[in-house]
Amino acid sequence: MESHIRGSQWIRYVSVFICLYASLRRTSAVTHYTIPEEMEEGSVVANLATDLGLDVQSLTKRKMRLDVIANRKYLDVNRETGDLYILERIDREMLCPFKMTTSNCFLKLDATIENPIRMFNIELEIVDINDNAPHFRRDTMHLDISESTPTGERFSLNNAVDPDFGTNSIKTYRLSESEHFNIEIQTGRDGSKFADLILTKSLDREKKAIHNLILTALDDGVPTRSGTASIIVRVLDTNDNAPQFEKDNYTMYLSENAHIGSLVAKLNATDLDEGSNSEIEYAFSLYTSEKTQETFGLNPTNGEIHVKSTINYEDFKIYDMEIIAKDKGANSLSSQCKLTVLVTDMNDNHPEISIKSFQSPIKEDVVVDTVIAVVSVSDKDSGENGIVDIHISDTLPFSLKKSADNYYELVISKPLDREKVPEYAITFTVTDRGSPPLFDNETITLELLDVNDNVPQFPQSLYTIPVVENNAPGALLSSPTAFDPDLHENQYLVYFIIEKEIANTSMSMLFSINPENGNLYALKTFDYEIEKEFLFHIEARDSGIPPLSSNVTVHIIIMDQNDNTPVIVSPWRAHGSVVEKKIPRSTDKGSLVAKVIAIDTDSVHNSRITYQFLVNTEATLFSLDQYNGEIRTTRMFSYRDARHQRLIVIAKDNGEPALSATVTIKLSTVETDMKSYSDMTEVPLEHDIFSDLNLCLVIGLGSVSFLLLSTILVTIVLKCQKPKHSKAAPPSRNSVISSERNSTFADSTLVSNDAYWYSMFLAETRKGKLVVRQPAPKGSRYVVSSLPRGTGLTETSDSAASTLQYSK
């Protein structure tokens, strides 16, 4: 009986197995679904009962269940509705970690029902979405590059990774703006992207020692995601300076129960070197106790000292530590300082401030009420101790406006001016209302960008530049330089001369200016006697947009040089340089023998003439006035004095070096009394009229001869003086002869107004007339009247006198 029962059970098991196998054969087809990853929990994938041809009402009765081949159950079946829904978020990158480069990621499930037992194979293809941003394995990459590295050199950079697939993976890289570096994107055999840093411009350590770059990796998904990494390029230098702290000893106060990680002090050591030689590492020295090192942590990179463990005022009140700053040079140098931390007994929490948003730099012309930062404040305490007040310095052109609970906006309250303050250190101070109150502060630095709002300024409004005549063309005259307090192109100035014509000559033909530095040059040689001054303007214009400019007046004054030799205009010389004169031997002491007159066309200082004897055959007989050139006798002639005297007079100007002219006067003494010295100068003596043998006879004959000669000369002079009447107009006292500069009169060529006066004086005197010069009314002129000798000034007849007018 027992064996019969066992046999029947065996038969039943076999029949069940056969039915199950047949069912599996019938359902061997795989039901395939495609869904994106990261679907929300509870999301319906499909109605499994409908897709498998099952009755929804029998799912519960037939105990439909879902078996997951993997270890985790991501989906399940609702037996009441037959829906296949998401039980747990599906992450394709976690489900298929090794299929980042292929699109095939499947999740295989088995759906089983009973009565009879049937099994269905379900396959879900998980489609990738762009849910991962590219990221770098290292957030910061350090590169040490020697400043002698040639351009074109390549430097490998760490590539970014993106667990997404296809277009959602990394597409390209971008580098922040830099004038020295660029990147070149390479594609690996597996399709991955990486970038090489290319040096495009030579480095100069003295100009810039550290270059901070940002490398951004971007995918091609929708939306596009990116990741960044910092590239710090340090220009290498030799290590010859040790780090130096600002002070040798620091004292800091710290409240007890300060938060772990609170900043106690930030020690700043500076190294004058560059590159890795100026990178400083901070460390505690061996003189710092183990308890102090357990309580405080020192950041080896930035020198910040933070609280590392709980501080109890009752345990320790004073902590002493010694910090060493050591650079990273090949032969490292170091220095140390001492820090004393005094613990204060306080039991509150400090208020905190957080910079949520900050815009820097900004342009200096930004409008008032512009928001430049958003900050939030908080305090872990409660009640009055948790109420936080925030403020900034009243001297700053900023104000705080409350925007929401514990949120404040930093706005501009007054116009900014970069030329006065190029940057602002804005310190936010937060204080709670506890007793005693606690506070904290945070400082941000706002940098201002320049705009072209300043006009170039010359240090003076007028440049008076003396230039000595006979200058060399191209000589530097001056450098009228302007200043512009703006920056960069807004302060780059260009100079040029404002065009102006003088006597049909453009300023650009006379002067030139260097547009870069304002150096002013002369283009020609100037002559004081022709041009005495120039007045023009120079403009300085900056390179901003729009450009601003200003101008300055330049007054060029030509300075005289002693380049004109004096010209002797009296006594008049018809030929050669020797003047022969006859004087009575009975001439009294102090009598005027001759008058030497010279003129010089240079300036007043250089044209001042002095007279001296070069040769005087009888030094005790004649004297010469050095200022007016009058030669007079110092005594009467004696029988011992020679009959012929030779005088050489030099007329010397006041220049440096002095120029001169000479005249030779040959004097012959006669016994006859002579009335007109000018007539004697016109008639040379051909033989001596004196004789030592018979003085009385000679005197008698000389007197008779002189009277006869005088009569003849007077007759000739009177005939020559008769005026020649013009057909156009009769002679009149008011007739005018205009004599301009360089006009010719008599035998002398005039080179100045005084020369004209002297030459006319000589010519009219030879004709026996008296010449009088008087100022003309209303103008810088003279009226010169020529009168016959012996006629008084008030008795001048209309027919005998002529008036000559000339410009001074």
- Selected residue with higher pLDDT from 536 and 600: 536
Q: Which of 225-239, 252-266, 375-389, 771-785 has the lowest mean pLDDT?
A: 771-785
Task: Work out the widest C-alpha separation in the chain, in whole angstroms.
Answer: 215
Residue pair 776/785 in contact (Cβ under 8 Å)? The answer is no
pLDDT in tens, 383-397: 676 788 899 998 999
Cis peptide before 422 (omega within 30 of 0): no
pLDDT in tens, 291-303: 999 999 999 998 9
Interval 700-727 mean pLDDT: 70
- Selected residue with higher pLDDT from 552 and 721: 552
Three-state DSSP at 166 gives helix
Question: Where does the pLDDT of residue 678 fall: very low under 50, low under 70, confident under 90, or very high at 90 and above?
Answer: very low
Question: Which pLDDT does position 83 carry in this prediction?
Answer: 85
- Selected residue with higher pLDDT from 429 and 570: 429
Question: Where does the pLDDT of residue 318 fall: very low under 50, low under 70, confident under 90, or very high at 90 and above?
Answer: very high
Question: Where does the pLDDT of residue 672 fall: very low under 50, low under 70, confident under 90, or very high at 90 and above?
Answer: low
78 has pLDDT over 70: yes
Question: Which pLDDT does position 70 carry in this prediction?
Answer: 55
Question: Where does the pLDDT of residue 149 fall: very low under 50, low under 70, confident under 90, or very high at 90 and above?
Answer: confident
Q: In 3D, which of 286, 287, 272 has the Cα closest to residue 333?
A: 272
pLDDT in tens, 164-213: 777 777 888 989 888 889 998 888 777 778 888 999 998 877 688 889 99
Q: Which of 198-202, 223-227, 772-776 has the lowest mean pLDDT?
A: 772-776
Interval 15-33 mean pLDDT: 49
Question: Which pLDDT does position 68 carry in this prediction?
Answer: 63
Question: Which pLDDT does position 695 carry in this prediction?
Answer: 61
Q: In 3D, which of 688, 718, 692, 722 has the Cα closest to residue 705?
A: 688
Six-digit token pair at 78? 């609702």
Question: Which pLDDT does position 791 carry in this prediction?
Answer: 38
371 has pLDDT over 70: yes
Question: Where does the pLDDT of residue 429 fall: very low under 50, low under 70, confident under 90, or very high at 90 and above?
Answer: very high
Q: How far apart are CA 395 and CA 729, in angstroms?
A: 91
Question: Which pLDDT does position 598 carry in this prediction?
Answer: 86
Question: Which pLDDT does position 770 carry in this prediction?
Answer: 47
771 has pLDDT over 50: no
Could you give the residue ranges of the DSSP H alpha helices within 176-320?
290-295
What are φ and ψ of residue 601, in 5° steps? Answer: -85, 0
Three-state DSSP at 216 gives strand
Residue linked to tokens 């013009």: 726
Q: How far apart are CA 786 and CA 559, in angstroms?
A: 38
- Selected residue with higher pLDDT from 93 and 721: 93
Question: Which pLDDT does position 69 carry in this prediction?
Answer: 58
**What is the SS3 string spanning 420-467?**
CCCEEEEEEEEEECCCCCCEEEEEEEEEEECCCCCCCECCCCEEEEEE
Question: Which pLDDT does position 554 carry in this prediction?
Answer: 92
Q: Which residues contact 356 (CB under 8 A, 6 or more apart)?
A: 374, 375, 376, 407
Question: Which pLDDT does position 381 carry in this prediction?
Answer: 66
Question: Where does the pLDDT of residue 682 fall: very low under 50, low under 70, confident under 90, or very high at 90 and above?
Answer: very low
Q: Which domains does the chain have, with CATH numbers?
A: 28-129 (2.60.40.60), 135-236 (2.60.40.60), 244-344 (2.60.40.60), 352-449 (2.60.40.60), 462-559 (2.60.40.60), 567-670 (2.60.40.60)
- Selected residue with higher pLDDT from 403 and 296: 296
Question: Which pLDDT does position 407 carry in this prediction?
Answer: 92
* Dihedral of the alpha carbons of 712, 715, 717, 722, in degrees to the nearest 10: -160
Computed over every residue of the chain, the mean pLDDT equals 77
**Side chain identity at 755, as an amino acid letter?**
A
Interval 507-531 mean pLDDT: 87
740 has pLDDT over 60: no
Question: Where does the pLDDT of residue 102 fall: very low under 50, low under 70, confident under 90, or very high at 90 and above?
Answer: low
Question: Which pLDDT does position 293 carry in this prediction?
Answer: 92
Three-state DSSP at 14 gives helix
Of the chain, the percentage scoring pLDDT greater than 90 comes to 18
Question: Which pLDDT does position 20 carry in this prediction?
Answer: 37
Residue linked to tokens 């009441």: 80
Q: How far apart are CA 769 and CA 771, in angstroms?
A: 6
Interval 715-730 mean pLDDT: 55
Residue pair 509/473 in contact (Cβ under 8 Å)? The answer is no
Residue pair 800/785 in contact (Cβ under 8 Å)? The answer is no
Strand partners, 443: 427
Six-digit token pair at 325? 């700053």
- Selected residue with higher pLDDT from 158 and 320: 320
